[in-house]
Amino acid sequence: MKGKEKTKEQLQNELAKLHKKIAELENVKANHKQTKEKSAKSEEIYRLIAENTSDVISLQDFNLQSRFRYISPSIKDNTGYEPEELIGKSPFDFVHPDDKKELLPILKKYIVAKLKKLFTGKESEIIERIEFRFKEKGGNWRYVQSTGNIIGNQLLFISRDITEIKKTEETLRQSQQEFASIFKSSPEALVYLDENGNIININPRFTELFGYTLEEVKGRNINGGMIHPPDRIEEGKKLSKDLSEGQSLNYETVRKKKDGTLFPVHISSASVIINKKKNGFLSVYQDITERKQSEKIQEALYAISKAANSPMSLNKLYKFIHQKLGTLIDTTNFYIALADYQKDEIRFPYFVDEKDDDFPILNFSETNSFTVKIIESGKPLLLNSKRIKNMMGKGELIPVGTITDKSIWLGVPLKIANKTIGVISVQSYTNPDLYSEKDIKLLEFVSAQVATAIERKQTEEALLQSRQEFIGLFKNSPEALAYIDENGNIININPRFTELFGYTLEEVKGRNLNGGMIHPPDRIEEGKNLDKTALSKGYFNYETIRKKKDGTLFPASVSGSDIIIDGQIKGIIGTYIDITERKKMEEELQKLAHYDILTNCCTRGYGLALLEQQIKIANRKKTPILLLYLDIDNFKDINDTYGHAEGDMVLKEVARFFKSILREVDIVCRIGGDEFMLIFPDSSLDYRLLIEERINKKLKEFNENLNKPYKISFSTGLSVYDPVNPASIENLIKTADEKMYKEKKEKNTGRL
């Protein structure tokens, strides 16, 4: 009985176990179904991802003769191939030959990893990111970046087209090289700063201008007082702050060289943007000493002329002249000497001196001084202590006043027409290097205006000084004078009037001065108005145009004042000065500002102004303009091999060459160094061929005539201004400049 019960118990246990296994099998079956459903769903998701992603997904055989087994539809957008065109083909058939050698080691690495798993059972996960060139259906090469991994017995690659990224990188690389080249060779001083104002780099012109090498300044803060005078340090910090806040900088100020010299500069700065991010600042420093000096000269001459035409007394005029000349040259020790040829005397109506308190009247016949030599020769004189002693030893000179071992003396003649009326002089007792040949030119330039001002003021004061001297002064005045009544009728003229206008007293006496006799037709009413001004205000001074007897027109300074006798106005004295030579000086000043001294081409600033003017004309006439940038190939080699004098000669000859082959309306500008800008008004692209043909045809003849061991050639860049599609001057210049540098770069590449 017990055995049967035991057997029953065992059967029940076995039955329970069987039920349990059946339940487990049912559960496994259900899980398998769920897994299968999930797998199908995952596969559907993967399929949708593969078919809709812009990246290319591919499966390849896992061997050295790999073939495409699957490739996603996006391959058509990336390369132009349909997936079916690539299935079964080797990926290596489409890879650039130079890149295959980079891909094969990676494929071998995958195979080694698979063998390792086969023999050891250990999985080695390898994910490689590679870049290569893939041939598209059109035959062009596209840059591709792929990420690969092992999936069972196949390799899975996810690939992306990075051609545009590569082009951007290459463009950026070229831009950086061009920037570095332009930075280094720029004729202006450049400094590259980080966002905190610390110096990253400087170009050779910066070293030349300031005296610092890159090793001396790299990493130093630009606003730390290195190139800033003490009173300009805070100014520099403010300018840097403005830059960091996004403001561009265009500023004139004063900066300091390594040796402590202060000089005026024009500073322009802007942010350096790389990949749309601010990457520091670029600052340009231009030495504007010459321009400032020219402005000072013009301001001083204008002020002296204005003072000479004012009621200011002669003594005050001398002091004013001293003050204004002091803005141009050191006038610590200064005097004005005037010659009286009739009395054989030299007087010193104005002097300021550290050593001598008295400047006595000298006689020509009894004195052999510096001043006498200048008045007799009509030429300037620059003497240092050594030369003074040498001339004294030979008996050629007897100086008046104090001479030291460090003396230097400079004097220039005061001239009216070709007659020397006196001398202006400056000197130093302590600095033998204070004055130079450059200062001679400066003083000579302003001395004519000073002489005119003094002469004019002397004439005015003499006329007003005494009625008894009137006739003598009237007759002997070096200026042309006309005495007219209240109605403008001529009472008298002096000899200088006859000399200037060509009329004798008999021809003009009683005639109305404003009747067209010495007035061009368009100036008759002006003459009548001047007479009214003199009668109502007592004085006038005016620059205008007058006419000689032979019809010649000339610029004249006309001044007039009332003749008062016994308290009543009896007429007007008109003074006429031929200011042709003064006008020539003004034109020379303008020429200095507008034309390059070496080549006589337009300066950069004047050239840009002319270009702006031509653009306005082009807009009005609806005609295009050609802009041609040129520079001389290998010009630096000429300077280095044959010297800068030879280089200057080349620049002058090249300028003559341009002017000889171009039209009168075409404009030649020297931009700086060996760069030129040619402006061709009313010229389309068709004219470019004629320009190039003319230059190339004449260049051979030019080199033959030059007869030098080197040959002159040019790198050029062209841009066109079209009124229908206008561009800014900056863009026109940038386009031409970039093309020129591209051509030069290609030449230099070939040269290497």
pLDDT, tens only, 547-574: 899 988 888 888 888 777 666 777 888 8
pLDDT over 60 at 438, yes or no: yes
How confident is the model over 637-666, as a mean pLDDT?
91
The residue among 370, 416, 687 whose CA lies nearest residue 557 is: 416
User: Residue 385: its pLDDT value, please?
Assistant: 87
Instruction: Write the CA distances from 53 to 132, 149, 157, 182, 744, integer angstroms.
Output: 21, 18, 13, 44, 46
Q: Cα 24 from chain centroid?
A: 90
Of 130 and 135, the structure prediction assigns the larger pLDDT to: 135
User: Residue 164: its pLDDT value, please?
Assistant: 82
The residue among 182, 190, 196 whose CA lies nearest residue 243 is: 196
Q: What is the mean pLDDT of the chain?
A: 82
Question: What are the structure tokens assigned to 239, written together?
Answer: 């300018």
How confident is the model over 662-671, as a mean pLDDT?
90
Contact 249, 235 (CB under 8 A): no
User: Residue 469: its pLDDT value, please?
Assistant: 63
- Computed on alpha carbons and rounded to an integer, the radius of gyration of the chain in Å comes to 45
Tokens 């061991």: give the residue: 709
How confident is the model over 567-585, as a mean pLDDT?
79
Question: At 190, is the pLDDT very low, low, confident or very high (cuts 50, 70, 90)?
Answer: very high
Contact 728, 627 (CB under 8 A): no
Which range of 41-55, 115-129, 714-728 scores highest in mean pLDDT? It is: 714-728
Which range of 293-302, 327-336, 536-545 scores highest in mean pLDDT? It is: 327-336
pLDDT over 90 at 532, yes or no: no
Cα–Cα dist 99/24, whole Å = 56
Question: At 462, is the pLDDT very low, low, confident or very high (cuts 50, 70, 90)?
Answer: low
User: Residue 212: its pLDDT value, please?
Assistant: 95
Lowest mean pLDDT, pick from 35-44, 168-177, 210-219, 453-462: 35-44
For residue 334, the SS3 value is strand
For residue 162, the SS3 value is coil
Instruction: Give the number of C-alpha atoms closer than 13 A to the C-alpha of residue 639, restricted to the C-beta side.
Output: 11
The residue among 460, 467, 458, 378 whose CA lies nearest residue 418 is: 378
Lowest mean pLDDT, pick from 19-33, 90-104, 119-133, 295-309: 19-33
How confident is the model over 611-624, as a mean pLDDT?
91
pLDDT over 90 at 49, yes or no: no
Instruction: Write the CA distances from 447 to 297, 524, 578, 691, integer angstroms.
Output: 11, 33, 17, 46
* Single-letter amino acid, residue 458: Q
Which residues on neighbouring strands pair with residue 350, listed in sequence order?
Answer: 336
299 Cβ neighbours under 8 A, 6+ residues apart: 327
- The DSSP call for residue 236 is H
Tokens 């009625």: give the residue: 467
One-character DSSP codes across 392-447: HHTTS----S---TT-EEEEEEEEETTEEEEEEEEEESS-TTS--HHHHHHHHHHH
Percent of the chain whose predicted confidence (pLDDT) is above 90: 24
Q: Cα 380 from chain centroid?
A: 36
> Each residue of 157-178: pLDDT tens digit?
888 888 887 887 777 677 767 7
User: Residue 31: its pLDDT value, please?
Assistant: 60
The residue among 401, 390, 389, 397 whose CA lies nearest residue 425 is: 401
Helix 686-706 and helix 644-661, axial crossing angle in degrees, nearest 10? 130
Question: What are the structure tokens assigned to 752, written together?
Answer: 């290497």
Helix 437-465 and helix 314-325, axial crossing angle in degrees, nearest 10? 170
pLDDT over 60 at 315, yes or no: yes
Question: What are the structure tokens assigned to 699, written together?
Answer: 């260049």
148-182 burial string, b = 16+ CB within 10 Å, else e? bebeeeebebbbbbebeebeeeeeeeeeeeeeeee
User: Residue 356: its pLDDT value, please?
Assistant: 84
How confident is the model over 237-247, as a mean pLDDT?
80
In degrees and rounded to multiples of 5, residue 484 shows phi and psi of -125, 155
466-496 burial string, b = 16+ CB within 10 Å, else e? eeeebeebbeebebbbbbbbeebbbbbbbeb
Question: At 32, is the pLDDT very low, low, confident or very high (cuts 50, 70, 90)?
Answer: low
Please count the other Cβ atoms lying within 10 Å of the Cβ belonging to residue 679.
25
CA dihedral 195, 198, 203, 205 (to 10 degrees): 110
Instruction: Write the CA distances from 598 to 145, 628, 638, integer angstroms.
Output: 57, 21, 17
Cα–Cα dist 150/365, whole Å = 115
User: Residue 615: its pLDDT value, please?
Assistant: 92
Question: At 619, is the pLDDT very low, low, confident or very high (cuts 50, 70, 90)?
Answer: very high
User: Residue 3: its pLDDT value, please?
Assistant: 46
How confident is the model over 473-479, as a mean pLDDT?
80
| Strand 56-61, strand 68-71: pairing | antiparallel
How confident is the model over 641-648, as a mean pLDDT?
91
The residue among 263, 252, 250 whose CA lies nearest residue 289 is: 263
pLDDT over 80 at 341, yes or no: yes
Question: At 123, is the pLDDT very low, low, confident or very high (cuts 50, 70, 90)?
Answer: low
Residues making up the chain, counted from first to last: 752
Q: Cα 717 from chain centroid?
A: 18
Tokens 């002329």: give the residue: 305
Question: What are the structure tokens assigned to 618, written together?
Answer: 């082009």
Question: At 399, is the pLDDT very low, low, confident or very high (cuts 50, 70, 90)?
Answer: confident
One-character DSSP codes across 652-687: HHHHHHHHHHS-TT-EEEEEETTEEEEEETT--THH
* Exposed / middle / buried, residue 628 (Cβ in 10 Å: 0-12, 13-18, 19+): buried
